[in-house]
Amino acid sequence: MAETSPSATTPPKLPPLPIESVNDFPDRLSPMLVKELRQGLRTSTFVILFLVLQGLLAIVLLVTTPIATAEGSLSGTVGEVVSKIVFCIYALGILVVQPLRGISAVTTEIRQNTIDLMVLTRLSAWRIVYGKWLSIVGQSALIAFAILPYLILRYSFGGMQLFAELVLMAYLFFISGTLTAITVGLSATGSVLLRGLVVVGGSAVMMGYIFFGLHRQIPEFVEILSFTRSDQSLTALAILAIAVYASYFFLEVGTTAIAPTSENRATRKRLLGLTIMVGSYLLLHAVDPALALTSALIIAGCISLDLFSERAKFPSVICRRFLRMGPLGRASGRLLYPGWATGSLFFLTMSLVLFLLIFLTNPDPRNYTYAAIGLGTLAFPAALIQLFARDSSNRFSLYLTLLLLCFVLTAILSELYRVVPEKLLLWVFSFIPAVLLPIAGQSASSPDQSTVLLVSAIITGIYLLIILGGSLPRMAALSKLETEALEDLDAQDLAEVGPDH
Amino acid sequence: MSVAISVRNLFRYFGPLKAVDGISFDIPHGSVCGFVGANGAGKTTTMRMLATLDYPTMGSAEICGINVVNHPDKVRSLIGWMPDHFGNYEHMTVLEYLDFYARALGYTGDERRSRIEEVMAFADLVPLASRLSNKLSKGMTQRLCLGRALLHDPQVLIMDEPAAGLDPRARVELKHLIRILAEEGKTIFISSHILSELGEMCDSLLFINAGRIVHHGDAESLKRGSDTSGGVYYDVQVDGNPESVSDWAVLNTDVEIMETRKRGARIRIPSAESARAAEILSRMVREGVRVIEFHREQRNLEDAFIDILGKIEEGEPGLTPPPQPTTPAGSPPNDPVPPAEPPPPVV
């Protein structure tokens, strides 16, 4: 068949559509993960980080190998040094750079108005946030795997606990996942100040720790993670468990910020948080009561962060499921409906549960004191917001910033108290109950113990009264919302019964 | 004809700001409805509520009979949404962009690929397949956005200012695509500032001002209907200083300057009688305006819109404020919501 030459009127031939290129990731992967990986693996941050890590590690090994070979018996010491360098570089990559990439993850979508487009698809808010987190963690995993050959090379230097060092690597990776979850979650909150604080403060603290603390602690960590001492191993596992919960919690923070208000995310979060708090306390109590109380208070802190900062408004459709359960559902709604108003009541319940746990397991007055101090410190920013910034549009950032300031002030005062043991200094600032910790930490026979318990209990009680008092008008609004939901339910029932009936 | 979009007493307050103030309207299936209003009139807020991205302070809105607040997921499968502004992703090609949304909409395997191919062919995106999505021109970006909105073949398209910022060619292309979609029977709710274009495309026009609907009807009836009430328009061209028409009109209050032009002005005479126009022309000439052309012009939609706004300012009966909400749902009107920050995507 003779070929015909294209005429002048023939439209230019278009290149074929490279449609097969969209099969680079299988369908079973989350669309968010596919999108983020496609974008993330091409970003200069990841590419530069990956190449710089490889370059640095290659240089370190090239420099140390001849030394180790020449000095023979000293190769174990050289190996240890190499281990420290490898872990510091690795930690810098996955504990600082990678988590920081999450700080703009959701904000960028909100700012560019692309979050709306995603919300309109079948992607739930959770899948959006989770996908963003998973993508960064996936890229961190690539970095972790790229480090492995260097650890294997370092093995030839001798003096290496292979299993423990691999576990340490995994452990750091795990912590990196939690830090990434924190930044991804906070990226949805909309506070530039808070995100700036995380970027500047968080990375400074983490880098300081890596360069001045981690390298000294690596042998200790290796020992702990070789699981030879059960108490230390339990602490490590407890930290991991709290890290898992914290990861979930912060991803939920991001999810709640972008989820439709008709989606009730509060109930599950609260019940899950409370269950984990009780569970971790009971599990850890048998081994280490102090660790049990500390972990319970950390979890309570996470729950409070959410309780006191949820937006109070939600549509009546949320009440329907509760109202279908009758009076019990209606009553539980007062604790489990979204919003800081019901959150205040939940905080009171959570506090009572914690005191009950202490009463049942270890009714030492010092435990009550620690619990009162912890809960009072968590209630303090909420009371401040209730008094001075009730209508704030970003309660989350405000609460978190105030809480962080409390911790910073507590740390400063504790250091001052160590240098100049003047109790008056702490009593003056006792409106932040945490500053009383140095006095509470004194011997049980100290006459100040009962005073600290009394003062922290009174202060916590006052804060609770302020918070609950402020939430009363909202509680009244809930009744209106429930009436509306009941009307909707009646209309639905009528529609289901049909016009013939 | 059944109703595709139904809105009843819809309110949306942001603190003291009444963005949408009790609007009601119906749009039948398969029709194209233009949504007209000045900046800040409430167009985007209304459209966002219909798109389940915001939720009303009070009132109801339904898409194909499904309530947007109570069943946002069902509504989302029925609508395609084109926002007035949005960013595209870095490091992602046009093909990958559409693939992401196709995956997010639940398409897999061959169906996913065929949906992508179909919308790319429709929106003429095939030549752009390998281009980075954030490196496209405004016109290309709008075509990409339209392609994305059509991926799940929605029954209703809600388009917020799709022609804003487009060059004439891109505008013609977009208009062409919208016309094809309308012929396919899709219901299209489109907002724009370019009233003449809306007039050509739309079966009906919905005028909104300060959160209230001030007119709902087709373009022709709007133009015709106000022919008698809104006066008659004339193009006046002069020899010499074009501002002489405006200067003359300042002293003659029965003539209104609508627009100054290169060689004169467009004026409005309140009466449709030819004798009145003749009298005004002779007066202009007598008083020294060197008129070389004086001819009647068709009234356009901008004129009609300005007339309607004028009537509102004069407080004409029939354009009365809507009832005030008494039992706001979910979001009490006195609850301040920061106007500086866009509301979170809520339903």
At residue A238, does pLDDT exceed 90? no
**Band of the pLDDT at A2, cuts 50, 70, 90?**
very low
- Yes or no: say if B149 and A121 are a contact pair by the CB < 8 Å rule: no
Put simply, the answer to whether B335 touches A31 (Cβ < 8 Å) is no
Q: Give A14's contacts in chain B (Cβ within 8 Å).
A: 126-127
What does the DSSP 8-state code read for residue A93?
I
Identify the architecture of domain B3-78+154-224+307-313 in CATH. Answer: 3-Layer(aba) Sandwich (3.40)
The domains of chain B are located at 3-78+154-224+307-313, 228-298
Buried b / exposed e over B83-104, threshold 16 CB at 10 Å, is: beebebbeebbbbbbbbbbbbb
Put simply, the answer to whether A481 touches B72 (Cβ < 8 Å) is no
Per residue in A128-153, pLDDT tens?
Answer: 999 999 999 999 999 888 888 887 77
CA–CA dist B201, B81 (Å, integer)? 18
Question: Across the interface, which of A39, A260, A316 has its CB nearest the CB of B345?
Answer: A260
Question: Across the interface, which of B76, B116, B345 has its CB nearest the CB of A115?
Answer: B345
Per residue in A408-445, pLDDT tens?
Answer: 999 999 999 888 888 888 888 989 999 988 888 776 66
Third-level CATH fold of B228-298 = Alpha-Beta Plaits (3.30.70)
- Yes or no: say if A487 and B327 are a contact pair by the CB < 8 Å rule: no
Does A478 lie at the interface with B, CB-CB under 8 angstroms?
A: no
CA–CA dist A76, A262 (Å, integer)? 61
Closest CA to A311 of A278, A338, A277, A348: A338
Does A216 lie at the interface with B, CB-CB under 8 angstroms?
A: no
- Yes or no: say if A428 and A418 are a contact pair by the CB < 8 Å rule: no
Which residue would you say has higher pLDDT here, A85 or B272?
A: A85
- Tell me the β-bridge partners of A211: none
Is the torsion defined by CA of A352, A358, A359, A361 positive or negative?
positive
At residue A3, does pLDDT exceed 60? no
Does A121 lie at the interface with B, CB-CB under 8 angstroms?
A: yes
Q: Give B105's contacts in chain A (Cβ within 8 Å).
A: 121-122
Which pLDDT does position B91 carry in this prediction?
86
Residues of chain B predicted below pLDDT 70 = 1, 223-230, 314-347
Helix (H, G, I), strand (E, B) or coil at B159: strand
Question: Across the interface, which of A19, A22, A39 has its CB nearest the CB of B90?
Answer: A39
Which pLDDT does position B229 carry in this prediction?
56
Put simply, the answer to whether B87 touches A260 (Cβ < 8 Å) is no
Which pLDDT does position B191 carry in this prediction?
92
CA–CA dist A189, A301 (Å, integer)? 18
Alpha helices in B5-156 (DSSP H): 43-50, 72-78, 94-104, 109-122, 138-150
Does A498 lie at the interface with B, CB-CB under 8 angstroms?
A: no
**Band of the pLDDT at A169, cuts 50, 70, 90?**
confident
CA–CA dist A331, A346 (Å, integer)? 12
Which residue would you say has higher pLDDT here, B181 or A228?
A: B181
Amino acid occupying residue A262: S
- Which residue, chain included where needed, has tokens 């209003």? B37
Which pLDDT does position A71 carry in this prediction?
62
Does A316 lie at the interface with B, CB-CB under 8 angstroms?
A: yes
Put simply, the answer to whether B70 touches A317 (Cβ < 8 Å) is yes
Closest CA to A457 of A382, A369, A377: A369
- Which residue, chain included where needed, has tokens 């109070």? A312
Kindly state the tokens that stand for A407. Answer: 């911790």
Kindly state the tokens that stand for A126. Answer: 């959770």
* A89-98 average pLDDT score: 88
What are phi and psi for residue B188, nearest 5 degrees? -125, 125
**Band of the pLDDT at A196, cuts 50, 70, 90?**
confident
Task: Tell me what the pLDDT averaged over chain A comes to.
Answer: 84
Which pLDDT does position A480 carry in this prediction?
86
At residue A19, does pLDDT exceed 50? yes
Count residue pairs from A and B with Cβ separation < 8 A. Answer: 142
Helix (H, G, I), strand (E, B) or coil at B4: strand
Q: What are the Cα distances from residue A86, in Å, to A19, A72, A112, A212, A279?
A: 42, 21, 39, 15, 37
Nearest CA in chain A to B50: A120
Put simply, the answer to whether B330 touches A314 (Cβ < 8 Å) is yes
The arrangement of strands across the sheet holding B187-191 comes to B79-82, B156-160, B187-191, B32-36, B204-209, B212-217
Kindly state the tokens that stand for A356. Answer: 């009950």
Amino acid occupying residue B73: D
Task: Tell me what the pLDDT averaged over chain B comes to.
Answer: 83
Q: Regarding beta strands B291-297 and B256-261, do their DSSP bridges make them parallel or antiparallel, or are they unpaired? A: unpaired
Nearest CA in chain A to B151: A121
Closest CA to A249 of A302, A202, A295: A302
CA–CA dist A316, A339 (Å, integer)? 13
Amino acid occupying residue B158: I
Question: Across the interface, which of A43, A116, A118 has its CB nearest the CB of B83?
Answer: A116
CA–CA dist A47, A37 (Å, integer)? 13
ipTM rounded to 2 decimals: 0.75
Q: Give A190's contacts in chain B (Cβ within 8 Å).
A: 341
- Yes or no: say if B43 and B50 are a contact pair by the CB < 8 Å rule: no
Question: Across the interface, which of B76, B116, B117 has its CB nearest the CB of A120?
Answer: B76
Helix (H, G, I), strand (E, B) or coil at A88: helix
Buried b / exposed e over A107-133, threshold 16 CB at 10 Å, is: bbbbebebbbbbbbbbbbbbbbbbbbb
Q: Angle B138-150/B109-122 helices, nearest 10 degrees? A: 140
At residue A482, does pLDDT exceed 70? yes
Nearest CA in chain A to B120: A17
Put simply, the answer to whether B345 touches A316 (Cβ < 8 Å) is no
- Yes or no: say if A338 and A318 are a contact pair by the CB < 8 Å rule: yes
Put simply, the answer to whether B347 touches A488 (Cβ < 8 Å) is no
Q: Which of A366-370, A396-400, B128-132, B218-222 has the lowest mean pLDDT?
A: B218-222
Per residue in B63-96, pLDDT tens?
Answer: 999 989 888 889 999 999 999 887 788 889 999 9
Kindly state the tokens that stand for A88. Answer: 């510091």
**Band of the pLDDT at A117, cuts 50, 70, 90?**
very high
Kindly report the number of other CB atoms within 10 A of residue B259's CB atom.
13
What are phi and psi for residue B160, nearest 5 degrees? -100, 110
Alpha helices in A389-497 (DSSP H): 395-419, 423-428, 437-440, 448-497
